[in-house]
Structure 1
C-alpha cells in the first residue's frame, strides 16, 4: 500500500513506496516521521522520530531504517533496562570503547546494573530508583549478596578459602566510593545514549548526586628513595626501561610499546605513538595511545641516552645469540628472544627490584606519580608537567597532584614566616651608606 505525500516546495503530491514510512507536520510545528523497523525478538515495530524540519525528521528515520536493515534491533522504551543495557553493550559501546574498557563495562552491567535495576522499565526508571540502588550497594556486603565466598574453591597456596558468607560470618565487604562512582558513570553513559536515540526524554541518572570521591591515594618515591631505586636497577637487564620510567613518567604500556623508530638518540627525543596491552581477544596487542594528548614527543635526559645506547648494544648481542629463534618486533624492550614483554612480567621484575633495594612496595604506576611529584617539588610549572605526562587537560594534573601543591604552599608560607620573624631577635650591623638597611632580618 502506498501513502500520498506532499512536496513542501512545489505543493505536488507524490507516492511513497511501501515501507518508506510517513512524514507529516504536527500541530505544534514539528515534523514527525514514522516507519517500521526491526525490534528485539525478530519482530517489527513502528517508531516515530521528530525534527524541526521535514528533512531532519526524514534523516532520523533513514538512520533507524538503515540500522534495521543491518540487523541492529531498535529497543523499545517499553522494554526493560536490562534489555537496553545488553543492546547498548553489543551494538554501541563495542564500537566506541577500547576492548579492555568494554570488558570492564560489561562486568559492571552484568554484575551490578542488571541484577539491581535490570527489571525496571527504561521509560519508568526514576532518579529515586537509581539512588535506592546505589544506597543498597553502599550498605550491603557484596560477598554475601552475590555469594562470592560460597563459590570460592579452596586453595592453600593462594589462600583462597571460604571466610565469609560460606561460614555464616559476614566480612562486611562494601564497595568503595570510587567503585560506586564508576558504576554510576556507566549507567549515565548508557542512558545518555538512550536519550540521543530518543528512547527516553531525559537521563534520570544525572539527577542523582553521589558526591565527589576522594582521589586514589598513591605513594610516590621520595628523592632519597628515587636515588636508591636508580642505584638498584643498575646492572638489571631492563635498566634502561626503569630509568626511563622514573625520569620521564611514561606509562607502562607506553614503555613496552616503544619502538626503535620512535627514538631519536641524536636529537635526544622520543615520540610516544602507541601502547602495548593484553586484551581478551587479541592477546598482546599494540594499540594507539590512551588519548590524543598522550601522543606526544618528549625530551630524553642524558642518563637515559646512555642507558638506551647500552641497551641497544645488549639487544644486538641477544639477537645474535638467539639466531633463528629471534622474533623481530621492533620494540625497544623485549624478552631475550625478541618477543614483546608481558605487562604482568614487568610488574614482577619491578616488585623484585623493590625488595632487593629494601624499598617499600608500590605500584609500577607510582613511578609516574613519582616523576610528577619530584618535578613539582623542583618548581616546574604545571603546564610543563602536563606536556611531559601527556594529560588531556591541565586540570587533571592540578587535581591529581593537589596535595603536592599544598605542601609547596606550606613550605612557601614557612619561608615567609622565617623572613618576617621579630627583627629584635636579630642583631645586624648597619651599612656604611647614609640610608639604614631596608630590613633587619635575613631573607633566604
Structure 2
C-alpha cells in the first residue's frame, strides 16, 4: 500500500500520498489534497488514492481548470438533453465559472464547494441579494453531474461535489382551488380567447407546455382521448417545440364531455381566427392553441394572462401550474384511484403521486375505513 499521511492546516484537513514513479519521466509522484471538514473525511480520501495507486489507476496530474472542463462538458451534453434542460445547465455552468472557474479541476474540495454554495445563498444574485435555495440546489446538481463525468473519464480522483452538502430545500406549500373556486375562475375566463386551454389544463392535469403542444392530430374525438407527445416551452426568449419532460410523460389521457366540447369550440374559434388573419396566418403547424396569427403561444405570456384572470376572478392566487395540482387533489378527494391519477399526470411511479399529494391521503384513508366497516357491520 502506498505511503500517506493526513494533516490539519488553516482550519481544514488534508492528506498527501506517494503515487509511485511516473511511467515516462521516472520522477516520484505525490498526490496532495486539502479542504476536508474532518480528519475522517481526509483519511477516507487518502484510502481511495492509496487503492488507485495499488490498482495502477492513479489519475495523472492536470492543470485543467473548471471553466475549461465545463465548456467541453456542456457542449457534449447538447445532444443528450432537452433544449430547455440544456439551457438551465448553461445558466448553472455560467454561475459556476464566475465563482470557481479558475480553480484547477483536480484541486476542488468539498469544503470549497460548500463555501461557494453559502456565498450564493448569502449574496449570489445579480444585485447582491441571496439566491433561492432551489436555484443553488440546481447548481449543485449540475456540478455533481459534471464532476461525475470527470471522474468517469479519469480526469479527477474523486467527485468533490458528491461529498459536498447541497443546500436543503423546503418543499413549497401546495396551494389549490376548491371546485367552487375553480368554477368562479372558469366563469371569468369565458371572456378569454384562451378559455379552452384553461379547461384542458383543469380537466386533465396536463402541464402547461403539454397543453400548448397539443395538436389536432393528437386528439381522437371518437374515443375521447388525447395523446401527449410534444411540448411548447421557452428557452431564453425563444419558443421551442420539443419532447415531453420524460419518457413517462408521453401518454394517453382520456377526457369526458366538457373537455371534448371545449376542444370542438376551440376548433371553431381557430377557423374564425384563421379566416380573420388571412395571408399572415402561419399554416406550418397543427397546434390546437395558437396566437392570433397562427404561431405557437408563448408559455410565459400564457401564464401572465392566467395571473390577470385570477385577479379579476378574485379567487385565491395560485400559479398556472397549480391547476395541475388542483386537478390531482380534486380527483383524489373524489375517490379516483391514485394509480389512475398518477398515470394521467405522467408521473413515473405512483409513489411520487402519493408523496406529492400526501395532504389528501389521510382523508382517503378515513373514507376507506368507513366504507370497509359499513360493508362488514352495517
TM-score by length of 2: 0.75
**2:118 alignment counterpart:** 135
SS of aligned partner of 1:284: strand
Q: CA RMSD in A?
A: 2.7
**2:165 alignment counterpart:** 209
**1:221 alignment counterpart:** 177
Q: Does 1:285 align with 2:240?
A: yes
Per-residue CA distance 1:349-405 (angstroms, 9 max, x = gap): 212221221112221111111111111212222221111011223332223222332
1:304 to 1:81, Cα distance in 2 relative to 1, 3 A:
same
**1:352 alignment counterpart:** 308
Question: Unaligned 5+ residue runs, structure 1?
Answer: 1-31, 33-74, 150-164, 166-172, 420-437
Task: Report the CA distance between 1:177 and its aligned residue.
Answer: 2.8
1:401 to 1:211, Cα distance in 2 relative to 1, 3 A:
farther
Task: Report the CA distance between 1:266 and its aligned residue.
Answer: 1.2
Per-residue CA distance 1:281-338 (angstroms, 9 max, x = gap): 8x32311111111111110111011121122122222223333232222211122332
SS of aligned partner of 1:271: strand
Match of 2:97 among 105, 111, 114: 114
**1:339 alignment counterpart:** 295
**2:256 alignment counterpart:** 301
Task: Report the CA distance between 1:407 and its aligned residue.
Answer: 5.4
Q: Does 1:79 align with 2:56?
A: no
Distance 2:293 2:103 in 1: 54
SS of aligned partner of 1:286: strand
TM-score by length of 1: 0.65
Question: Which structure: greater helix fraction?
Answer: 2
Match of 1:126 among 102, 109, 115: 109
SS of aligned partner of 1:202: coil
1:323 to 1:142, Cα distance in 2 relative to 1, 3 A:
closer
Per-residue CA distance 1:19-48 (angstroms, 9 max, x = gap): xxxxxxxxxxxxx9xxxxxxxxxxxxxxxx
Question: Unaligned 5+ residue runs, structure 2?
Answer: 1-22, 24-59
Match of 2:89 among 95, 99, 105: 105
Contact 1:284/1:342 (8 A) holds in 2:
yes
Taking CA–CA contacts closer than 8 Å with sequence separation of 6 or more, which of the two structures ends up with the larger relative contact order?
2
1:270 to 1:85, Cα distance in 2 relative to 1, 3 A:
same
Match of 1:311 among 237, 261, 266: 266
- How many residue pairs get aligned? The number is 316
Distance 1:269 1:371 in 2: 17
Contact 1:215/1:400 (8 A) holds in 2:
no
Contact 1:376/1:382 (8 A) holds in 2:
yes
